[in-house]
Chain A
Amino acid sequence: MTEELHEVRLTVNGAVQVLRVPARRLLSDALRHDLGLTGTHVGCEHGVCGACTVLLDGRPVRSCLVFAVSAVDAEITTVEGLTRADGSLGPVQQAFKECHGLQCGFCTPGFLTTITAGLRDNPTPTRDEAREMVAGNLCRCTGYQNIVASVERAAALASETPEAP
């Protein structure tokens, strides 16, 4: 029994990647194991924790619930793609750093991608909206206070530098 492999062209962080994977290969596994983009983390493998969130055409999705073969036509952005063109931290990343929005760092990539998309939809969230923006992501270390503060700080940083995120 040999698994049939499919040639898949994925556009990840602006670069086209060609790989051959079985139909059942999860996007999260394709990113991590086939492309070596290990910044995307897998916390639950059933769409609950949000750690594996990536952007598909700018929209946050759980990469553990998407097959790699079904992501062929999309522009995929992972945490590795959130830095600015000059290599410095993007506004959401910078805000997490300043606000101590992370401890062990495992859930962080999913928060960063989720908030990047959230601030595009709502560049000036209230505190309640900031909390709502991260309501679909789990963090076990921080207790969320500094993450919510990071959302607000990211909004401020993004408005100072309008070319980002």
Chain B
Amino acid sequence: MTTKLFGTGVQRVEDDRFLRGKGRYVDDVLVGAQTLHAAVLRSPHAHARITDIDVSDVLDVEGVHLVWTHDDLTGAMAEPLPLLIPHPALSHGRTQHALAKDEVNYVGEAIAFVVADDRYVAEDAVGRIRVSYDFLEPVVGIDAARAAQSLVHDDVPGNVGARLEQENGDARAAIDAAPHTLSLDLTVERSACTPMEGRGTVARWDPDVGRMTVWTSTQTSTGVRAAVAAKLGLDLAQVDVITPDVGGGFGVKINHPWPEELLVPLAARALARPVKFTEDRREHFISSAHERGQVHHVEVGFDDEGRVLGLDVTFWHDHGAYTPYGLIVPIITSTQLLGPYKPGSYRVVFESLYTNTVMVTPYRGAGRPQGCYVMERTLDAIAAFLGKDRTEVRSHNFIQPDEFPYDQGLIFQDGRELEYDSGDYPASLARLKELVGWDEFPAFREEMAAEGRRVGIGLACYVEGTGVGPYEGAHVHVETSGKVKVATGLTTQGQGHATVFAQIVADELGVRHEDVEVVTGDTRRMPYAVGTFASRAAVMSGSAIHLAAKRAREKALRIAAEALEASVDDLEISDGVVTVRGTGASIDLGTVAVLSNPLRYAFDEASKAATQFTVGDPGKPPVAEDDEP
């Protein structure tokens, strides 16, 4: 009997490869002299008009194959990059061009693109490009953006890209009527994902079959594929995007397409040579997205127990120079701010502001840490004001276990109601207090104080909206060897998908863990997917893989029952062999795979074995009309 794997700790199947230096990250693809290397001239200025770009010296550099500025781009490539997630409140959404057109709006914005024999020569060439600028006043920080004494984009008044307000109840009235009120001003600084491996893209154009292969270090292969096809004027079917091993993402690689993800394939087609771009660390710091920067003003009204009667939050979100990823971050802040709590009424309004800094897209938590910080600081302030234990104040504000499902009365980032399905927050808090020794801490603090040490304790509660849709898919295929090939479209950047998804399939299909191979993020194997973010891979792809494996099992059992002249109910699958309980009659899954396929040439042992079984009605087509091989 195959041991149940789901929920069991197993060693990762990825690790042997990684530990031997046999991982295959994007810069490891197409290593060799045939591949050309790209470098990008990036703006050293936060805000300037470009008056002239002189590339006349560049092509004189030996080994330089191509230099492009915006003037060299045509059609869709000359248009701004996509605004991936529009929103009605994003009244003034702006995105950059693949190469800057007339104006730069942050230090790091791509201006020119060079392809050369190697990266060294490409950087030499970049150094010979001369750009003339008219400097503009840079807008840096939320205060400057709000003051709007200068504008990031001339046609965006007040630097305001979006304003969004949501309210559940009448927060102002509740605060006015509350026994106690407090107000807080809270600031969250910017930070960045900074994966160990930066961004990178390799592309190869095959003119013989009219096909583009792109390897890119992304969190969404399918998204990049669609963008490359649209921008390069290719059919979707002409573009394959493969996400190789990825050295960390943390959010920054869900934004796409980055300029290089389009320019590299464009250059590969133009030059009929493979082209590679590997972002260096300096480039990552200045030209890959940041997150977090927000300023909040909180007004809260509460009763003697610390119960929040009205909560009114206004915040300003610094989204940088452009808004490629829409309003996802501030919407998550504004909705998930409530965490496990149920204020009597809640109003939140935010403005999403332009600054002359690199753009903001989701990073680990995607706006949630800011909201959590604000709510927890508010509850701590209430506890301090009332002289109450911080856990007691939180307990008074928890949604209770009998109140689920609980509708927060807001619209979440996915456009759906913010409804919590289940939870037992009082029990979680009780467990937490026990684990950390919350009630014993005051005594411990005194003990430490006697030794001259000052110790403190803090707590924070949050609810995280994860596993977001809308979908993922899966393909489970049993080879005639009995090996099982699984594909799902979302990508992997260290989560161990090849291990855990194989556990799901091994259990469901009754095969050995080592006989299951999982491929992620390869549009040749699964062209329909969303991507890896918001802790959604196990929920979305894990579920899809489970359902696909169930269907594969049902089909295998149906065919095996016919072949073995037994009832499906009497069959079991273990270690890849279907057996009739009691009789010992059996058939390998590989042979079953042959029997499900009408091409019955005896091309291997499994197909030879299959010839001894009869499946289906010889008077009908070997594959039924409502079935597939």
| Partner-B contacts on A (CB < 8 A) | 1-2, 22, 24-25, 29, 32-33, 36-46, 49, 51, 78-80, 83, 89, 93, 96-98, 100, 102-109, 112, 138-141
Is A43 a contact of B197 with CB atoms below 8 Å? yes
10 A/B residue pairs, CB under 8 Å, sorted by A: A25-B120, A38-B28, A38-B31, A41-B197, A79-B21, A93-B20, A97-B15, A98-B11, A103-B495, A107-B196
Complex: chain A residue closest to B280, CB-CB = A45
CB proximity of B10 to chain A, nearest CB, Å: 11
B residues less than 8 Å from A2 (CB atoms): 62
A residues less than 8 Å from B248 (CB atoms): 104, 106, 140-141
* Known interface pairs A2-B62, A104-B494, A141-B494; A83-B20 also in contact (CB < 8 Å): yes
Is A93 a contact of B19 with CB atoms below 8 Å? yes
Complex CA–CA separation, A43 to B20 (angstroms): 18
B residues less than 8 Å from A45 (CB atoms): 280-282
Per-residue 0/1 for B238-255: is the Cβ within 8 Å of any A Cβ (1 yes, 0 no)? 000000011110100000
Decide if B464 is an interface residue (CB 8 Å cutoff): no
Q: Which residues between 21 and 73 of chain B lie within 8 Å of chain A, taking CB atoms?
A: 21-25, 27-28, 31-32, 61-62
Complex CA–CA separation, A106 to B250 (angstroms): 14
CB proximity of B322 to chain A, nearest CB, Å: 25
Decide if B423 is an interface residue (CB 8 Å cutoff): no
Complex CA–CA separation, A51 to B27 (angstroms): 14
Complex: chain A residue closest to B247, CB-CB = A106
Q: Which 7 A-B pairs have the closest CB atoms?
A: A39-B21, A106-B247, A104-B494, A105-B18, A103-B494, A79-B21, A38-B28
Per-residue 0/1 for B331-362: is the Cβ within 8 Å of any A Cβ (1 yes, 0 no)? 00000000000000000000000000000000
Is A97 a contact of B21 with CB atoms below 8 Å? no
Per-residue 0/1 for B271-308: is the Cβ within 8 Å of any A Cβ (1 yes, 0 no)? 00000000011100000000000000000000000000
Complex: chain B residue closest to A105, CB-CB = B18
Decide if B493 is an interface residue (CB 8 Å cutoff): yes
Complex CA–CA separation, A36 to B35 (angstroms): 13
Is B197 a contact of A104 with CB atoms below 8 Å? yes
Complex: chain A residue closest to B276, CB-CB = A33
Among A36, A100, A138, point to the contact of B196 (Cβ < 8 A): A138
Decide if B14 is an interface residue (CB 8 Å cutoff): yes
Complex CA–CA separation, A74 to B431 (angstroms): 57
Best-buried of B195, B196, B247, B248 by chain A (most CB within 10 Å): B196
Is A44 a contact of B245 with CB atoms below 8 Å? no
Is A96 a contact of B197 with CB atoms below 8 Å? no
Is B195 a contact of A39 with CB atoms below 8 Å? no
B residues less than 8 Å from A36 (CB atoms): 31-32
B residues less than 8 Å from A139 (CB atoms): 196
A residues less than 8 Å from B246 (CB atoms): 104
Complex CA–CA separation, A36 to B24 (angstroms): 12
Q: Which residues between 210 and 247 of chain B lie within 8 Å of chain A, taking CB atoms?
A: 245-247
Q: How large is the interface on B (under 10, 10 to 19, 20 to 34, 35 or more residues)?
A: 35 or more
Complex: chain B residue closest to A42, CB-CB = B27
Complex: chain B residue closest to A44, CB-CB = B281
Complex CA–CA separation, A45 to B27 (angstroms): 14
Decide if B496 is an interface residue (CB 8 Å cutoff): yes
Other than A33-B31, A104-B494, A106-B196, give 18 A-B pairs with Cβ distance below 8 A: A36-B32, A38-B25, A39-B20, A40-B21, A43-B196, A43-B281, A44-B281, A49-B281, A80-B21, A89-B20, A93-B20, A97-B16, A104-B195, A105-B15, A105-B247, A105-B494, A140-B194, A140-B196
Decide if B12 is an interface residue (CB 8 Å cutoff): yes
B residues less than 8 Å from A80 (CB atoms): 20-21
Is A97 a contact of B19 with CB atoms below 8 Å? yes
Complex CA–CA separation, A49 to B247 (angstroms): 13
Is A41 a contact of B31 with CB atoms below 8 Å? no
B residues less than 8 Å from A51 (CB atoms): 196
Is A140 a contact of B12 with CB atoms below 8 Å? no
Complex CA–CA separation, A25 to B248 (angstroms): 27
CB proximity of B251 to chain A, nearest CB, Å: 12
CB proximity of B291 to chain A, nearest CB, Å: 15
Complex CA–CA separation, A71 to B252 (angstroms): 36
CB proximity of A5 to chain B, nearest CB, Å: 12
Complex: chain B residue closest to A94, CB-CB = B19
Best-buried of A43, A79, A96, A98 by chain B (most CB within 10 Å): A43
Is A104 a contact of B247 with CB atoms below 8 Å? yes
Complex: chain B residue closest to A92, CB-CB = B19
Complex CA–CA separation, A14 to B18 (angstroms): 21
A residues less than 8 Å from B21 (CB atoms): 37-40, 78-80, 109
Among B11, B28, B280, point to the contact of A97 (Cβ < 8 A): B11
Complex CA–CA separation, A22 to B117 (angstroms): 13
B residues less than 8 Å from A49 (CB atoms): 196, 281
Complex CA–CA separation, A37 to B31 (angstroms): 10
A residues less than 8 Å from B247 (CB atoms): 41, 43, 104-107
Complex: chain B residue closest to A107, CB-CB = B196
Is A46 a contact of B19 with CB atoms below 8 Å? no
B residues less than 8 Å from A103 (CB atoms): 494-496
B residues less than 8 Å from A22 (CB atoms): 120
CB proximity of B20 to chain A, nearest CB, Å: 6
Is B15 a contact of A96 with CB atoms below 8 Å? yes
CB proximity of B15 to chain A, nearest CB, Å: 5
Is A46 a contact of B61 with CB atoms below 8 Å? no
Complex: chain A residue closest to B25, CB-CB = A106
Among B12, B120, B197, point to the contact of A100 (Cβ < 8 A): B12
CB proximity of A86 to chain B, nearest CB, Å: 13
Among A1, A33, A102, point to the contact of B18 (Cβ < 8 A): A102
Complex: chain B residue closest to A113, CB-CB = B21
Complex: chain B residue closest to A103, CB-CB = B494
* Known interface pairs A22-B120, A98-B11, A107-B196; A41-B25 also in contact (CB < 8 Å): yes
CB proximity of A19 to chain B, nearest CB, Å: 12
Among B15, B24, B120, point to the contact of A102 (Cβ < 8 A): B15
